[in-house]
Chains A and B, each alone.
Chain A
Amino acid sequence: MAATSAWLSPPSRTELIENLVSGVDRYNPSNVGILEDYLYHQIRSEEYDCLANLAILKLYQFNPDLFNPDVVINILLKALTAEPFPDFNLCISLLDDRPTNATLDEPDPLPTLLPLLTNLYNLLHQCRFSAFWTLYRSDELEVVRENYTVECAGFEDAIREVAARSVKATFTRISGERLGSYVDLSGSKLEAWVAKQRWALDPSTGVVSIPPNPDNQIESVVIQEHIKLPQLGKVISHSVQAK
């Protein structure tokens, strides 16, 4: 279960949070503060705990009075960086449409931001990384950058990791220019990033080599059927009984 163990139970999760995620205490509205604090801890420390964040959205779903749009936006930004896992959609699934909340002091930013965040997500999901950065850097997204991602430590690097996951599965070599457009880096910053990935940039050609991994090595195979003993149980037992 290697692919999901960190998602199911990240090392940063404390016992207190684990009890909230896995027990019936998750329904207790008075625990929302603990989970929200944990979210802000994730925001500051480049950590991520999807199930704990879903527990916040669950409490919001059942207790609309608790609803805090800033928290929701931060959860969605965190979930963006989990692609290709479907975390973003799992969060959206819990966001019941609410009648406009008049009790908030300030206007609810979510109705305007949600379509923008969804667009960002779709670009990532379609592996249109250059387009993602163009939209992300646009004026329209200024409010997201200045109010939210600026506080979210390592947000842009986490998005670069999303691109890196697709690139290293698909390419053995890729031009530095193209790669740069996927991760919104160039020059020495790109070189440093490539080095951090432990990929190799050939300075003379500007081509980046990506080391072999299970996804970028291909071979033609013929899949043979595998027959297990239990499948032959009846045939064998019959042949033993037959005189």
Chain B
Amino acid sequence: MAHQRVALWAAEPDLDDDINDVDVDIPIPLPSSTNELYDDPNLQLDEGALQAMQQHIAQQAAFAQIPDVVKRFIVHFHQAVLDNNLQEITVAYESGWTRLTEKYYAKTEWPEAETIAPLVNDDQIFLILYRELYYRHVYSRLQPNVDDRFHSYENSCELFNYLLNSDGPVQLSLPAHWLWDIIDEFIYQFQSFSLFRSRPASKTDDELAMLASEGGAQAWSSYSVLNVLYSLIQKSRANEWLKARAEGKSDEEIEEIVGEYGTKPLYRMLGYFSIIGLLRVHVLLGDFTLALKVMENVGLGQKAPFTAPTAVHVSTAYHAGICYLMLRRIPDAARVFTGVLNWINKTADRMYALLALCHVLAPTRLDDNVMNIVRERYGEQIGRMGRGEEGLSTFEELFLYACPKFISANSPPYDDPAALASMLNPPTPTSPTSQSPNTILNDPTQRHLRAMSSHFLSLTPVPSLKSLLKLYTSLDAQKLTGFLDTSGAGADEEEVLSWMMVMKNAGRCVGRVNITGPAANGEKDNEGGLRPSESLLGGDWMSISDLNFVIDQNMVHIAESTVGRRYAGWFIRNSEHTARVLDGIKASPLPPRTAPPVQKKSVDVPKVEGAPRTAGPKVAWGGVKVA
């Protein structure tokens, strides 16, 4: 003890210097002649005061370590938050924090909130926001330890408590980007904790003790996470707001409906983001119907009702697509992925992988640009998955790579050591290979994988059946059986007929858009998002196979649909391009007769009023792909 104390004091002079440098007023309630104080044997310090003092000293030492530029940044950041200066907050949040992280904290934590508290006058609200960033940095750059996991939960609770349970709406403005990150990170940490909790085999005694405690059972519980999200949605009346907008209500009416919280951008955005957060939480917990149900008022494919960060659209599409995949509504899944991949570029590899799975389960015509990238990245896997049962391992690998890390709603019984031990080492003598202690118990991902795999396996006879049937207009079932039974492995007619029924069932499915018919219900032409809301779970039967057949007793009759050549997209794209070139030429000044150097100017075509091309030619394609 004493030894440590000396070391701390040795650092004291520097510490003072540093503090003077920043010119920040810090109360130091320590006696000036401290050395004497410790030497005085008559002085009785009680244990608590001693600890508090030591903590204080440690903090000062830590404070001394903070580079000046970071201190100035924090002071400035704090001021911006106090002023509700959105622009300054955005700069601090998006560039300042990131820059300083790269420079000083790429491999270590930011200073603790308690350490920087003097810089911000102990402003508790700012310190909560600061900790939000602090822990997010720990989770993304470093390895959170068990204390971090519990403390970040406590800090989230404090933040949401402040937002939800103050007297009326709080006077705080934060940029949309940050608000989304708050919700997104909250769910990420919930997921991360659940995964951490689900592996009892690799825990230290400390971790076991924490998880067994009463707080350990409460922290990051599913109920508490859902409670936060639902409270934010209800407080802001986000669903009522979306409904009112869809019904085309006036601004005054909407203001009336959403109340004092919902009119504030902070709450409105948090409410909206919480709906998308709920989608994700339900997906992680394996409730794919409820996940889509909560999204009813948000819809899919519509523009967000305010400028939302790209991450919002990506998260929405990814999780909604997973829901449709698990509901075996493959064309709907593919359409959701394609919709967002059209305008975010190469950042979403997992969605391309999911599209490859969709393509294998139900090949439908998709946007050419997106499909080309899918083939580029996963062409080889698609080929392997088309080869029947031997493709299963590829299918499973790709699913495990691309699916979310699903979580269990409940904790292993940490509070019951006997039950936990029997979970780790089942008393029944099983074969030693079946349960290695490192297997993750209760892994829900395996459960979802099994469902997908058995669907994949049921479809394995389809590709070869299909390629065979394509050669005929009618074919005797017995003959067909003979063709399929090339190996003599004993495919009998009954089995082939069951494959035929599987193929028939696979050729139609429930979906939200009839992609083959002319009545393609235009999802994309939304009139500013004012379409009446419709259920994301609803759908109609549609045919998704180009090869159709019917069996008359023992005779199979086959009809193939072909897609006529498509000209429209090419025509529209090139017409628009020509129009732009023409406009560019017309808008350029005539080249002066004498001075050839000016020519260079006409090369970069200036923008011309009246040529509406903010969205580029993609819009035209967006329509064509569904036709």
Contacts and interface: CB of A to CB of B under 8 A. Distances in A.
B559 A220 contact: yes
Contact of A173 (B522, B553, B562): B553
A89 interface: yes
A139 B38 CA distance: 84
24 contacts: A3-B540, A4-B540, A8-B537, A27-B223, A62-B410, A85-B510, A86-B328, A89-B451, A92-B447, A97-B447, A127-B498, A166-B505, A169-B501, A172-B551, A215-B504, A218-B550, A218-B557, A220-B560, A220-B561, A225-B564, A230-B623, A234-B579, A237-B612, A241-B610
Contacts of A166: 501, 504-505
Nearest to B408: A96
A224 interface: yes
Interface stretch (B53-61, B257-265, B284-292, B391-399): B284-292
Interface in A115-147: 122, 125-130
Contact of A122 (B458, B518, B535, B582): B458
B498 A128 contact: yes
A126 B568 contact: no
Interface of B: 222-223, 226, 230, 234, 285-290, 293, 326-328, 408-410, 412-413, 419, 422-423, 441-442, 444, 447-448, 451, 454-455, 458, 494-495, 497-502, 504-505, 508, 510, 516, 518, 520, 522, 525, 534-535, 537-541, 548-553, 557-564, 566-568, 572, 575-576, 579, 582-583, 610-613, 619-620, 623-624, 627
Contact of A235 (B326, B505, B575): B575
Contacts of B539: 1, 3-4
A127 B223 contact: no
B562 A234 contact: no
A93 interface: yes
Contacts of B495: 128
A130 B612 CA distance: 62
Contacts of A216: 550
Nearest to A24: B230
Contacts of A223: 516, 561-564
Nearest to B499: A127
Contacts of A86: 326-328, 451
Given A4-B538, A92-B447, A225-B568, 9 more contacts: A51-B289, A90-B288, A93-B447, A166-B501, A227-B568, A230-B623, A231-B619, A234-B576, A241-B610
Contacts of B525: 228, 230
Nearest to B221: A62
A119 B412 CA distance: 28
A79 to B, nearest CB: 12
Interface of A: 1-5, 8, 22, 24, 27, 50-51, 54, 58, 61-62, 64, 84-86, 89-90, 92-99, 122, 125-130, 166-167, 169-175, 178, 207, 215-228, 230-232, 234-235, 237-238, 241-242
A166 B451 CA distance: 21
B438 to A, nearest CB: 17
Contacts of B563: 222-223
Nearest to A50: B289
A225 B326 contact: no
B412 A99 contact: yes
A27 B290 CA distance: 12
B409 A130 contact: no
Listed residue (B222, B510, B562) with the most chain A CB atoms within 10 angstroms of its CB: B510
Contact of B538 (A8, A90, A232): A8
Nearest to A235: B575
A132 to B, nearest CB: 10
A94 B290 CA distance: 11
Contacts of B499: 127
Contacts of B583: 238
Contact of B455 (A54, A90, A125, A222): A125
A175 B410 contact: no
Nearest to A122: B454
B564 A171 contact: no
